[in-house]
Amino acid sequence: MMDKKVAFYTLGCKLNFSETSTIARSFQEEGFEKVEFNEYADIYVINTCSVTENADKRFKTIVKQAQKANEAAFIIGVGCYAQLKPEELAAVDGVDLVLGATEKFKITDYLHDLSKNDFGEVHSCEIQEADFYVGSYSIGDRTRAFLKVQDGCDYKCTYCTIPLARGISRSDKLENVLKNAAEISEQGIKEIVLTGVNIGDYGKGEFGNKKHEHTFLDLVKALDEVKGIERLRISSIEPNLLKNETIDFVSDSSTFVPHFHIPLQSGSNDILKLMRRRYLRELYVDRVAQIKRVMPHACIGVDVIVGFPGETDERFLETYTFLTELDISYLHVFTYSERDNTPAAEMDGVVSNKVRKKRSKMLRGLSAKKRRAFYESQLGTTHTVLFEGENKEGYIHGFTENYVKVKAPWNPELVNTLHQIQLTEIDEDGMVRFEYVKEAEAISA
C-alpha cells in the first residue's frame, strides 16, 4: 500500500472531525499519502452522519464527487449512517466497503485488496458490542483541535438515533485525555474544543463499566493545568449536566473560555416531556442566569428542534417567546425529521413539512437578531482574538474567546496568532471590526 493516496470527507459533528483525523493518521502510519478530497486518490473515506435526513442524502453526492476525481477509486463509508443502515450505503453505486461503529478504527486491516466490488462489502457489529473506547483528536487542518473525551449516550430522547449508532456512554481515561491534550499543544495549536456525544456524562465507562472515578468537573480542572494550551472550549453540553460548580470554575479559569453551547430543543415543557429530555425549561433559565451572573460577556449558543410531533402553534409560540426573552447569543435550528426505529416517528400530531419550514425560518431570523444584539453588546470591550488560517476574499477571520467573529485585511503572519483587540463596529456582513490593543503600533482593522 506504499505510495497510495487517500482522501477524507467528514459529514456531521465535531466528534466526527476528531475521529476522521485519527483514522487519517492510521493511514499515514501505514505509508499512505493524505490528499484533498477533490484530488486524485486511490481510496476515498467518507465519515457519515445520520442526525438529519439531509446528511443521508448527501452521502450519494459525495460518492459521485470521489468518482469524478478517480472513477476506479476504492470508496469506503464509515460513521453513524454506516452503523445504522450499512446495507443501504453498500448499495450506493461505487461504494466498496462499509464499516460500522467498532470497525472504523481498524480500517486499514480491511484493505488487502483495492479492486472494485460489484456490491459494497459490509463489516458492522451489533451496537451492543460498541462498548470500548477509542480516543481521538483532530490536528493539522485548523487553528483549533477537537479533542474527543467521551462517546455514546445512555439517554433515550425519542427523536435520536445516536445511541443506536454509537452505543452506550463511555469515556476516555483521564490520563489519556491529558496525554492527547499535551500532544495537541506540542503541535502549536492554540485552542482545544472538548467534544463527545454527551460530554457532561464524562467519567461513565472509564473502566469499561458504569464505575466512575472522575466527573466532568474533574476533567475540566485537570485540563486547566495542561501547559501550553492557550484556550479550552467546551462544546455542546446538556443543561442538566452543566453544574454550577463547572460554570463557576470556568469563570475563574485563564484557559477555559466564556462560551457555552447548551441544547434546549424546545421551550415548551409539554414537548420536552414528549422528547424525554431530562430537564424542564425552568432549569434551563437557571443555567443561563448563572452563566450571565458570573460571566456577563459569555456567549451562549442554543440547539432547538422545530416541528416535533405534537408541536402545535401554541407550543411553538411558547418556544419562540421563551427564546426571545432569554439572554442567549445565537441558535442552531434543526428541522425535525423522522428517523427509523425512534419512538417519535410513531407519535401522533405530525407537523406538516410546510409548517416545519416556516417555523425554522422564524427561529433562524430570531437567531440573527440575537447574534446581532450580542455583538452590539460587545462593542467597545477588549478581548483576545485567535486568527484562522484561510484567506477569504482578501480577509482573515478570527474568533474572540467569547465567540465574536471578527475580520481584518488578509495578512498571513496573523494565522494562528493571538492578539488583544477592542471591538469597534459591526460590518455590513455581520462580522466585527476592531483595533489592536497594546501593540507597538495600533492598527485599525
Residue 52: its pLDDT value, please?
Answer: 62
- Which residues are CB-contacts of 142 (< 8 A; sequence separation ≥ 6)? 388, 389
337: closest CA among 3, 144, 2, 56?
A: 56
The grid cell for 334 is 434543526
- HEC string for 216-243: HHHHHHHHCCCCCCCEEEECECCCCCCC
375: closest CA among 294, 429, 320?
A: 429
What mean pLDDT is predicted for residues 320-333? Answer: 98
What is the gyration radius of the CA atoms in the chain, in angstroms?
22
* Beta-bridge mates of residue 33: 5
Query: With 80 as the cut, is the pLDDT of residue 10 above it?
Result: yes
The whole-angstrom separation of Cα 240 and Cα 369 is 27
- What number of residues does the chain have? 445
Q: How many CA atoms lie within 13 A of 104 on its CB side?
A: 31
303: closest CA among 243, 371, 363, 247?
A: 363
The grid cell for 101 is 461503529
Residue 443: its pLDDT value, please?
Answer: 44
**pLDDT, tens digit, for every residue of 113-171?**
777 777 788 886 666 666 666 778 887 656 889 999 999 999 999 999 888 888 889 99
Residue 206: its pLDDT value, please?
Answer: 60
Element (H, E) at 282: helix 281-294
Instruction: Return the percentage of the chain with pLDDT > 90, whole number.
Output: 69
What mean pLDDT is predicted for residues 256-279? Answer: 98
Higher pLDDT pick, 407 / 130: 407
Q: Are 231 and 190 in contact (CB under 8 A)?
A: yes
N-term to C-term CA, the chain: 49
- HEC string for 330-360: EEEEEECCCCCCCHHHHCCCCCCHHHHHHHH
Residue 66: its pLDDT value, please?
Answer: 95
What mean pLDDT is predicted for residues 310-314? Answer: 98
**pLDDT, tens digit, for every residue of 295-306?**
999 999 999 999
The whole-angstrom separation of Cα 396 and Cα 213 is 43
- What is the side-by-side strand order in the sheet with 231-234? 144-148, 191-195, 231-234
List the Cα angle 145/146/152 in 5-degree steps: 165
- Which residues are CB-contacts of 29 (< 8 A; sequence separation ≥ 6)? none
DSSP H helix total and E strand total for the chain: 12, 19
**pLDDT, tens digit, for every residue of 25-51?**
889 888 899 999 999 999 999 999 876
81: closest CA among 21, 9, 27, 12?
A: 12
Residue 101: its pLDDT value, please?
Answer: 81
* Beta-bridge mates of residue 112: none
The grid cell for 96 is 466498496
The whole-angstrom separation of Cα 245 and Cα 153 is 23
Residue 444: its pLDDT value, please?
Answer: 44
Query: With 60 as the cut, is the pLDDT of residue 105 above it?
Result: yes
The grid cell for 351 is 407537523
Query: With 50 as the cut, is the pLDDT of residue 440 above it?
Result: no
**pLDDT, tens digit, for every residue of 219-264?**
999 999 999 899 999 989 999 999 999 999 999 999 999 999 999 9
Residue 286: its pLDDT value, please?
Answer: 98
Residue 267: its pLDDT value, please?
Answer: 98
The whole-angstrom separation of Cα 267 and Cα 14 is 25
Q: Are 134 and 171 in contact (CB under 8 A)?
A: no
The grid cell for 182 is 499535551
Query: With 70 as the cut, is the pLDDT of residue 417 above it?
Result: yes
- Exposed, middle or buried: residue 307 (CB in 10 Å: 0-12, 13-18, 19+)? buried
Q: Are 148 and 135 in contact (CB under 8 A)?
A: yes
Q: Name the least confident of 17-21, 236-240, 349-353.
A: 17-21
- CB atoms near residue 195 (< 10 Å): 27
Instruction: Return the percentage of the chain with pLDDT > 70, whole number.
Output: 91
- Exposed, middle or buried: residue 355 (CB in 10 Å: 0-12, 13-18, 19+)? middle
**pLDDT, tens digit, for every residue of 205-217?**
666 556 667 999 9
pLDDT confidence tier of residue 442, bands split at 50, 70 and 90: very low
Q: Are 8 and 45 in contact (CB under 8 A)?
A: yes
- What is the side-by-side strand order in the sheet with 299-306? 259-265, 299-306, 330-335
Query: What average pLDDT does the chain have?
Result: 90
